[in-house]
Amino acid sequence: MKRLLIILLILIASVWVGLIAIRHAGFLLIVYQPWMIQMPLWFALICFLVFFGLFYFLIDSFDRLGFLWFRMKSWLHLRREHQSYSKTQRGLAALIEGKYKKAERLLLAGMNQSIDPLINYLSAARAAQQQGAFERRDKYIKKAYEIAPRASLAIGLTQAELEVEQGQLEQATATLLHLEEKAPRHPRVLQLLEKVYVRQADWKHLQAILPSMRKAKVISPEEYELFEKNIYCELFHEASDKRLSDVRLIWNDVPRNLKKNPDVVCAYVTQLLQHAPVTGTETSKEIETLVRKTLGQSWHPQLANIYGKLNFADLNRQLVIVGAWVKLYGEQPELLFILGKLCARLQLWGKAKDYYARCLAHGANPDASLAYGKLLESLGEVDEARQKYKEGLMMETSVLSS
């Protein structure tokens, strides 16, 4: 009903306009030498309206065509991005699955239409390395630097990881030191440096980055102490062919808290033992004092074995000291062996035999078996001595073969 009313109003308005145009006819005169155009006014108005409609339609068509072209370009762009993303995604999946040749091919195909192909180059470098294609790997790393200079830290870390994996430790060290200058105390840089220095047995440089590792929270305070302890132990082990003065210099650098650590003391004392025959009783006294003080605070089997090999002047005093350790740490086989040797030197034959027997009751001990056999032989118990000798030799042989 409403639509019908509108149509009716339009018809009435059209009739009314037509009547006015007939009653009040006018003319439009256009003069442009040498032409002159004359037309009714109502016709001129109709022509103007038709021209305006055509002009509006033409402008609207151009606008629609531009919008359609924009949508077409957007669709093509999104389609290329989707294809690139799909190839990159499939390439990364192939890399994880260990299909390195396929991964490299897909990643290269995906980077041609990718907006940010950095991940493609880095992943392709990993795939190339797994195939042993190190020249291609280096080429992809170089391309990554060229297209994303602002991501040099991420690219450098990837490069260092690949170099460490390949065993190029010198190149990896150079790469990581360059990154450390740009990003001091970066956790991942420090972790890789720690791995490289350990593999190179470069304990001095590893010791130098320990404070940075602690401040960057790469390692906990407990791990810091463990690292520091192991580093000094390794430094002492490497000093086996050095002079006694060099060994003492390392000991002087050891922090006070670590000078009480049994492992560090054991590593230091082991090196002192090598120089003891040359330096004489002074070094032996130092060894005896260090071992005695350390064992008085914490148990360490290897230190106990070292203590048992020392030549003591006051045997009774050592018997009391070792007896106190037995009360403190229990009947450790190392302590029982020392007590057996001390009693044998003091000619306390019964106690010596008892300590040797109790030592061997804890398990196989070639040195204790041979010492026990020697004691039995000196006491005239030849058959039992031969049995102990045999047991000791068998144990020694099994140890050497293993």
pLDDT digits (tens, 9 = 90+) for 351-368: 988 988 898 888 877 888
Could you tell me what percent of the chain has a pLDDT over 90? 36
User: For 186-239, what is each residue's pLDDT tens digit?
Assistant: 999 999 999 999 999 999 999 999 999 999 999 999 999 999 999 999 999 988
Is the CB of residue 143 less than 8 Å from the CB of residue 159?
no
- What local confidence, expressed as pLDDT, does residue 141 receive? 92
Q: Which residue has the tokens 């155009």?
A: 37
- What local confidence, expressed as pLDDT, does residue 82 receive? 46
- What local confidence, expressed as pLDDT, does residue 169 receive? 92
- What local confidence, expressed as pLDDT, does residue 75 receive? 46
- What local confidence, expressed as pLDDT, does residue 76 receive? 54
Global pTM?
0.70
Q: Which residue has the tokens 């990554």?
A: 144
- What local confidence, expressed as pLDDT, does residue 54 receive? 76
**Ranges of the chain with pLDDT below 70:** 1, 10-11, 13-32, 36-45, 48, 56, 60-85, 112-115, 276-281, 385, 388-402
| Domains with residue ranges and CATH for the chain | 328-402 (1.25.40.10)
Residues 6 or more apart in contact with residue 391 via CB below 8 angstroms? 369
- Contacts of residues 314-323 at CB distance under 8 Å and 24 or more positions apart, as own/partner, are 315/342, 315/345, 315/346, 316/346, 318/342, 319/343, 319/346, 321/292
